[in-house]
Amino acid sequence: MPDFLFLSTDAMSPKITVELLRQLRQAMKNSKYITEPIQAYIIPSGDAHQSEYIAPCDCRREFICGFNGSAGTAIVTEQHAALWTDGRYFLQASQQMDNNWTLMKMGLKETPSQEDWLVSILPENSKVGVDPWIIAADQWKNMSKALSSAGHSLVAVQDNLIDTIWEDRPAPPSTKLITLGLKYTGLTWQDKVTALRGKMAERKISWFVVTALDEIAWLFNLRGSDIEYNPVFFAYAIIGISNIKLFVDSKRLLDPAVQEHLELDSPSKPELTIQCFPYESVYTELQAVCAALAPKEKMWICDKASCALTQVIPKSHRSVIPYTPLCLAKAVKNPTEIQAMKMAHIKDAVALCELFAWLEKEIPKGTVTEISVADKAEELRSQQRDFVGLSFPTISSVGPNGAIIHYRPLPETNRTLSLNEVYLIDSGAQYLDGTTDVTRTVHFGTPTDYEKECFTYVLKGHIAVSAAVFPNGTKGHLLDSFARAALWDSGLDYLHGTGHGVGCFLNVHEGPCGISYKTFADEPLEAGMIVSDEPGYYEDGSFGIRIENVVLVIPAKTKYNYRNRGSLTFEPLTLVPIQLKMINTDLLTQKEHDWVNDYHKKCRETIGAELERQGRKEALDWLIRETQPIV
């Protein structure tokens, strides 16, 4: 799945916000929350961990304005209310917000930035408030600078003002924790802490404040389900050279399995003793740690951490980093994780082979819809061992809906699958052993020549990345154009990146690597990293094509080895047939032709064996038919 978020399933009628805005404006003057009235209040869309997906209790921007897209910032002043979002969401935002709100279309020349807009409408010497927990430190800095230079000030409002008016706000989640053994993780959390401390010592760092939820989950070999699709749980950690402080709802630690896993009662070594604190006490505990720092001690914190936590650390002790060592360690999968990811992908392919075999039988009946396929896919996946849930909402789209890149079927858009239209399904799951994400584009009747031509260009791009050989140290963005060359040759393109990092029973989108023209600050690809390879083509109003595999970075054997740098390439983990009917084989080179046959041979052998083992005969027949070599 390309890396952007999704609509929720709410219908598209505007939310009535008159009363909410009145209440919020009162709160902005209420001395219970703030010492002096504020003239504007900023409502960003994130949570305290800058998560990509957020829990219902954190959907504050949606609550105040009605717009529920993934990206957007609301600002409310005494007279105005405005929402900034980008081109993907102009239509949706305008439908979901009532006329108390002004839509600020980001990316258009005439649209002012939040800073410029505030400066243009605020009375002199205004105070602008924001919750310091849900704004990242660098965003705070930029906004604060812009406001100060115009005579205003940005102030941290400790009580979130939305929460004060949100009567039925969902409680913060506190789901049961899952402990993961060595069989899945390859490394104990103790080993991971020790390795992390090694990296800290190398850079003379004595403390590290861990704020990203997937980093905490990975470090402690724990999972949760606080956020839909992402098996994470709300927590913070502060790791010292001889301390481990974990901040998490204490109820969660009553579970004996968790107690044992974390060795809460009988730590094996003193420096591996976990001190547990309530989630909320991270602020005061971090203050205490900082108060005891020796003059030259340094503390790591990620640049995506909240302003609130970042500012606790005195500047002289603060070392702000773009990617933490945990982010990097987590991205390079160890042999156990790789094996587990392979297993998860085999099971996922079994479910998809079954799905496609079922679709071939069912579609002619005329009762299969985008939503029913998504449901069927989930049902089939859930039959597989160690299934936990989906890794993102399934994109199931027929014909013109396929051209909406961030489509998700809703009852009012739901189309029926037929023999006449292209069908695109982008789906994935969480298993205890791994995370999957796969897109296939198929036709159940006879595709047009143009559909086949476009599909074949996308396939050529997919193969160009998958089969690319490149030196160690190459950043993923340097491979992005390989995926586009065949499309470009014919004047076509797609307006999203080509790939993103994929977690191992963790977030389906993770840093610090990817394959996209949009970034330059990605980290180099390394053997063991796992990314998606998903070029596409979208013909507005007509059809969408995307071919996505999850691929593993592996060392490549090359004829020569310039300066002993070594080379890398990719191995597909996703093993689901690519529909031959959609390929115009005349457009393939011999090398591409061979790649397709090799890939299908591997699908047949690996998935065939598992289908056989599971006794899924129909799917096996389908697989064998769909993986015949092209000549």
Indicate which single residue of 171, 562, 586, 615 sits in contact with a copy of itself (rule: CB under 8 A).
Answer: 562
CA separation (Å) from 446 to 149, 372, 490, 582?
63, 22, 23, 9
Please give the single-letter amino acid code of residue 455.
Answer: F
Q: Confirm or reject binding of residue 109 to a copy of itself (CB under 8 A).
A: no
Span interacting with a copy of itself, options 130-138, 241-249, 426-434, 476-484, rule CB under 8 A: 476-484
What amino acid occupies position 42?
I
Q: Which of 9, 420, 561, 628 binds a copy of itself (CB under 8 A)?
A: 561
Tokens of 86: 């980008």
Q: Kindly provide the residue ranges of all beta strands, DSSP E only, lying in 110-199, ordered along the sequence.
A: 127-130, 153-156, 178-179
In terms of phi and psi (left: phi > 0; alpha: psi -120 to 50; beta: otherwise), the region of 399 is left
Does position 482 bind a copy of itself by CB under 8 A? Answer: yes
**Beta carbon of residue 138, minimum distance to a copy of itself (angstroms, whole number):** 17
The span of 324-332, 365-373, 378-386, 489-497 binding a copy of itself (CB under 8 A) equals 489-497
Angle at 456 between CA 455 and CA 461, to 5 degrees: 100
Q: Smallest gap, in angstroms, from Cβ of residue 472 to a copy of itself?
A: 10
The interface with a copy of itself within residues 365-404 (CB under 8 A) comprises none
Does position 320 bind a copy of itself by CB under 8 A?
no
- Which of 33, 90, 323, 517 lies at the binding interface for a copy of itself (CB under 8 A)? 517
Closest CA to 64 of 85, 51, 45: 45
Closer by beta carbon to a copy of itself, 366 or else 473: 473
Answer for which of 37, 240, 267, 471 binds a copy of itself (CB under 8 A) is 471
- Does 565 participate in binding a copy of itself (rule CB under 8 A)? yes
First CA to last CA distance, the chain: 31
Smallest distance from a copy of itself to CB 551, Å: 17
Beta strand 274-277 with 299-302 is unpaired
174 binds a copy of itself (CB under 8 A): no
Radius of gyration (Cα) for the chain, nearest Å? 25
Distance CA 488, CA 469 (A): 21
Q: Is 588 in the site for a copy of itself (CB under 8 A)?
A: no
Phi-psi region of 263 (alpha: psi -120 to 50; beta: other; left: phi over 0): left
Q: Considering beta carbons, is residue 353 or 463 the nearer one to a copy of itself?
A: 463
Residue 299 C-beta: closest distance to a copy of itself, Å:
18
Q: Does 116 bind a copy of itself (CB under 8 A)?
A: no
296 in contact with a copy of itself (CB under 8 A) = no
Ranges of beta strands (E only) in 131-200 are 153-156, 178-179
Query: In residues, how long is the chain?
Result: 631
SS3 content of the chain, % helix, strand, coil (to 5): 40, 20, 40
Is residue 626 a contact point for a copy of itself (CB under 8 A)? Answer: no
Name residue 576's beta-bridge partners: none
Site for a copy of itself in 39-68 (CB under 8 A): none
Give CA separation, 71 vs 62, 64, 92, 190, 514, in Å: 10, 14, 12, 37, 20
Smallest distance, Å, CB 400 to a copy of itself? 16
Q: Judged by CB under 8 A, does residue 90 bind a copy of itself?
A: no
Q: Is 479 in the site for a copy of itself (CB under 8 A)?
A: yes
Q: Which of 142, 542, 567, 614 binds a copy of itself (CB under 8 A)?
A: 567
CA 565 to chain centre: 32
Residue indicated by tokens 């917000």 = 97
Residue (320 or 492) nearer to a copy of itself, CB: 492
481 makes contact with a copy of itself (CB under 8 A): yes
Residues that bind a copy of itself (CB under 8 A): 468-471, 478-482, 484-485, 488-493, 517, 520, 558-562, 565, 567, 589
